[in-house]
Amino acid sequence: MPRSVQGSNLTENRINLLYLFDVFLFYRKALQAFLHGLVTNTTCRTLELKGNSIHGAGTEALAKVLRRNQTLQNLRLEWNQIGAMDSPAFSSFCDALSLNKSLIELDLRNNDISHVGGTELAAALKRNVTLRVLDLRWNNIGLVGSRALLAACQSNSTLNELHLTGNNVPDDIMQNITNALSKNTEKRQIHFGHSQNMAILARQVQNIHTEKDRQITSVLKRVSLQEQAMLKANKSLAEKVKKLQEALDDRKLAFNAVSAKNALLEADLTVATQQYNDAQNENKKMKIEKDHLINQIRREYQQEKDGLFHIQEKFQRDLNESLEIQRRLSEKVHDLERKNETLQTTIHELREIITINDRDHQLKVSSLDDENQRLKLKHKEDLKDHELTSTRDIQRLKESYETTQQNLKEQITKLENIRTTLEREINSLKSTISTQKLNHDEILQQEKLRIKNEEEKKQHELEDRLRSLTTTKEELESHYNQQLISSRDLQQKINFQSVEIETLKRQIESVQTVNLRKDTEILENREKLKTEHEKKLRFIQKDIEMNEELKDRIKQLENDLKDQHYNDRNTIRELETRLADLQTKLNQREQEISRLKHDEEKRLHFLRTAMLDYIGRGTKTN
């Protein structure tokens, strides 16, 4: 089947949804034929052309569809190349989007749209009045394009969603765009509610108009009945006049009576017209009173609105104060619980320290006892060794003395013969021996004294160590007692604080109950005020809708006047151009006439000269 035939089928088929994913409509003729069929289609609402590499001529064909198709509402074009290389086709696409009045959702994800394309889209959004959702994720719009889109969002009042993820847009501009779009959604909601209220008011006004039309028709029926009665009376009077024309003189009185009846009927007619005029005046008065009542209701609504606002602020302040008190109490409870936990941890740590100290004390005492026993044993061993060495020395000295004595005896026996000669030597030797003995005894005594002093010193040092250990033991016991006392005090404090926590919890529960009561009262008051406010709003909205209708009519008349003024200006300009053309033509005609006059004058001058020459020649010949 040819592609043009398929495009013509699209114009005739009733298609609501059309999805063409990754079909790759590369050929220009195929895409143009396909989109040409959509130009005049009146049933398709959703068109999806994802991943079809649309660019250039395809983009221009889409622009043509957007210009002429007024039924398409959802257009999805992700994963194409519509904005590639900032082509003029994309600018025509944006112009068509600005003129389109049916499209609601447009998806342009991954279409290589740069900051230039972003500015063109922003210019289109400023003129578009129907688009609500625009998806531009994963393009290259950047800072310049995002600023232009922000300005477009601030001027466009219909756009509700704008997705710009993956476009290198700063966070502050994103926040400003979301704020502008949220304002648009709020305006749309308000406009929707306003339009509903306007529709209700229009129905009510229509009912009032129908009622007034019914009353006017009833009055007109009455007037028509009276006119028919008058016509019947006039007919009867005419018949009577015809019958009584022959006897006018005799029936003059009857004719006067009939004329009087006619006058009465005319008076009734004048009274009816006066009543009709009075009814119109009363209608005007009712309109004036209605306007006065609308203004009065507006003033009362504003006053009640201000009062409700003040009451709401008061309730909000009370609620904030109660919440602040509750927060403070909860903070106190948390602080007390935290203090309790810290105290419990400190008690646990102190208990562990006490147990560790007890264990260390026991270990130290046992080690000190072992060291004392070891030192005693060592001291005993040292004494034994010293006694052994002293006995050995004495024994050695005794042995040496005995040996010397034996040697001396031998020498004495040997030297008995020379005794006399050697007595002096013997005496001297005896004296030396005695001195040596005395020296040796002194050395022994000194050694004994030194050993005793050393032992006494060691004993004193051990005693000092024992005293210091006993003092440390007493100090540890006193510290342990103090820790026990502090732990008891801390336990008492914890108990006291637990009591305080329970009291604070009870107070918090009481405050929460009070807050719940206040919340219920506030909710009840809010509901009452809401109902009253809604009732008053309904009345006011009805009046506002009436006023809006009048404003719309005024705006329509102003637009008509502007159009008329514009048309008049155009006609005036056309007439001025025509006048200018006519003026030029007149000038040309006047120039021609002046030229012809000049020619005629020349001819007359030539004729005059010729005539004068002719007359002069005739006179000369005569």
Per-residue pLDDT reduced to its tens digit, 367-413? 767 776 777 677 677 767 767 776 777 677 677 667 776 776 776 66
Q: pTM of whole model > 0.85?
A: no
Domain membership of residue 165 (yes or no) is yes
CA distance 50 to 105: 15
Report yes or no on 405 lying in a domain: yes
Q: What is the pLDDT of residue 96?
A: 93
Q: What is the pLDDT of residues 329-347, one digit of tens each?
A: 667 767 767 776 776 777 6
Q: Rounded mean pLDDT of 474-503?
A: 74
Lowest-confidence range among 261-275, 529-543, 573-587? 261-275
Three-class secondary structure of residue 52 per DSSP = coil
pLDDT at res. 133: 93
Q: How large a percentage of the chain has pLDDT more than 70?
A: 78
Cα 492 from Cα 75, distance rounded (Å): 77
According to the model, what pLDDT value does residue 124 have? Answer: 93
Q: What is the pLDDT of residue 120?
A: 92
Residue 149 lies in a domain: yes
Is the domain of 311 the same as that of 259? yes
1 confidence band (pLDDT: 50, 70, 90) = very low
Same domain, 230 and 164: no
Indicate whether 421 and 465 sit together in one domain.
yes
DSSP-based three-state secondary structure for 347: helix
Burial class of residue 472, CB neighbours in 10 A (0-12, 13-18, 19+): middle
Please state, as a whole number, how many other Cβ atoms lie within 10 Å of the Cβ of residue 106: 20
How many domains is the chain partitioned into structurally?
Answer: 3
Same domain, 361 and 510: yes
**What 3-state class would DSSP assign to 346?**
helix
Give first-to-last CA distance, the chain, whole Å: 108
Same-domain pairing of 494 and 467: yes
Alpha-carbon torsion (551, 555, 556, 557), positive or negative: positive
Please determine, for residue 566, whether its predicted confidence score (pLDDT) is greater than 80: yes
Question: Of 503, 536, 569, which residue is a domain's last?
Answer: 536
Mean pLDDT for the stretch of residues 143-157: 90
Average model confidence (pLDDT) for the chain? 77
Whether pLDDT at 103 is above 90: yes
589: tokens are: 């005609």
In which band, very low, low, confident or very high, does the pLDDT at 439 lie, cut at 50, 70 and 90? Answer: confident
pLDDT, position 301: 67
Q: How would you classify residue 138: left for phi > 0, otherwise alpha for psi between -120 and 50, otherwise beta?
A: left
358: pLDDT confidence band, cut at 50, 70 and 90?
Answer: low
Is 188 part of any domain?
no
Q: What is the DSSP letter of 426?
A: H
CA–CA distance, 192 with 200 (Å, rounded to integer): 12
State mean pLDDT over 537-554. 77
Does residue 162 form part of some domain? yes
| pLDDT class of 75 with cuts at 50, 70, 90 | very high
Q: What is the mean pLDDT of residues 184-213?
A: 79
pLDDT of residue 119: 92
- Residue 601: alpha-carbon gap to chain centroid: 93
How confident is the model over 306-322, as a mean pLDDT?
Answer: 72
pLDDT tops 90 at residue 519: no
pLDDT of 349 > 90? The answer is no
HEC assignment per residue over 361-387: HHHHHHHHHHHHHHHHHHHHHHHHHHH
Quote the pLDDT of residue 505: 74
pLDDT of residue 5: 36
Indicate if the pLDDT at residue 362 is higher than 50.
Answer: yes
Mean pLDDT across the stretch 71-100? 88
The reply to whether 397 and 281 lie within a common domain is no
Same domain? 312 vs 346: no
Cβ of 25: how many Cβ atoms within 10 Å? 19
**162: β partners:** 134
Residue 17 DSSP symbol:
E
215 and 264 together in one domain: yes
Q: Is 458 exposed, middle or buried (0-12, 13-18, 19+ CB in 10 A)?
A: middle
Ramachandran angles phi, psi of 2, nearest 5°: -65, 155
pLDDT at residue 529 is higher than 50: yes
Where does the pLDDT of residue 8 fall: very low under 50, low under 70, confident under 90, or very high at 90 and above? very low
Alpha carbons 108 and 138: distance in angstroms, whole number: 9
The whole-angstrom separation of Cα 79 and Cα 394 is 120
In the chain, % of residues over pLDDT 90: 12
pLDDT at 6 over 50: no
User: What is the SS3 assignment for 398?
Assistant: helix
Residue 416 carries which DSSP code? Answer: S
- Residue 481 resides in a domain: yes
574 part of a folded domain: no
Say whether both 272 and 340 belong to one domain.
no
Residue 76 pLDDT level (bands cut at 50, 70, 90): very high
Q: What is the pLDDT of residue 33?
A: 78
Q: How confident is the model at residue 122 (pLDDT cuts 50, 70, 90)?
A: very high
Are 486 and 350 in contact by the 8 Å Cβ rule? The answer is yes
pLDDT at 397: 67
Residues 94 and 58 both lie in one domain = yes
Query: Are residue 314 and residue 334 in the same domain, yes or no?
Result: no
Picking from 296, 318, 340, the residue at the C-terminal end of a domain is: 318
Asked whether residue 12 falls in the same domain as residue 55, the answer is yes
26 pLDDT above the threshold of 50: no
Task: Give the three-state DSSP class for 46.
Answer: strand
Which stretches does DSSP call E strand in 325-425? none
Whose structure tokens read 């719309």? 552
Residue ending a domain, among 318, 340, 367, is: 318
Average pLDDT (30-35) is: 76
What is the rounded CA–CA span in Å between residue 72 and residue 60? 17
Distance CA 131, CA 103 (A): 6
**Of 372, 366, 612, 347, residue with least CA distance to 486:** 347
pLDDT: which is higher, 74 or 357: 74
**C-alpha torsion angle, residues 444, 450, 455, 459 (rounded to 10):** 150
At residue 3 the predicted structure's pLDDT band, cuts being 50, 70 and 90, is very low
Q: Is residue 16 assigned to a domain?
A: yes
Residue 12 sits in which domain range? 3-169
Q: How confident is residue 10, by pLDDT bands cut at 50, 70 and 90?
A: low
